[in-house]
């Protein structure tokens, strides 16, 4: 009987800790997102472009840069084999 009371008490504590953590995490992530959107809006949007459009464009450009970098690495590896 005592063991089940301890287990229940520990579960309540765990739920409270996890709930508190989630609230803090949501607050921090939300605040970061506001700062990020403000930065994108101020410095990275092109004329007439929304923040969402700019974020999509930037993500696509990043994928292209990573693909070009991979191709460059592969080309230099292959050049060294000859």
Q: Tell which phi-psi region holds residue 48, choosing left (phi > 0), alpha (psi between -120 and 50) or beta.
A: left
Q: What pLDDT, on the 0 to 100 scale, is given for residue 50?
A: 95
Q: Is the pTM of this model over 0.95?
A: no
Q: Are 32 and 46 in contact (CB under 8 A)?
A: no
Per-residue pLDDT tens, the chain, 82 aa: give them. 567 999 999 999 999 999 999 999 999 999 999 999 999 999 999 999 999 999 999 999 999 999 999 999 988 888 876 5
Q: What pLDDT, on the 0 to 100 scale, is given for residue 77?
A: 86
Q: What angle do CA 35, 36, 38 make, to 5 degrees?
A: 65
Distance CA 46, CA 51 (A): 9
């Amino acid at each position: 009987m005592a063991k089940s009371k301890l287990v229940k008490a520990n579960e309540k504590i765990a739920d409270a800790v996890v709930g508190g953590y989630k609230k803090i995490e949501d607050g921090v992530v939300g605040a970061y997102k506001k700062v990020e959107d403000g930065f994108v809006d101020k410095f990275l949007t092109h004329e007439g472009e929304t923040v969402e459009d700019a974020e999509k464009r930037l993500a696509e450009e990043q994928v292209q840069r990573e693909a070009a970098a991979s191709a460059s690495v592969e080309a230099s590896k292959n050049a060294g084999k000859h």
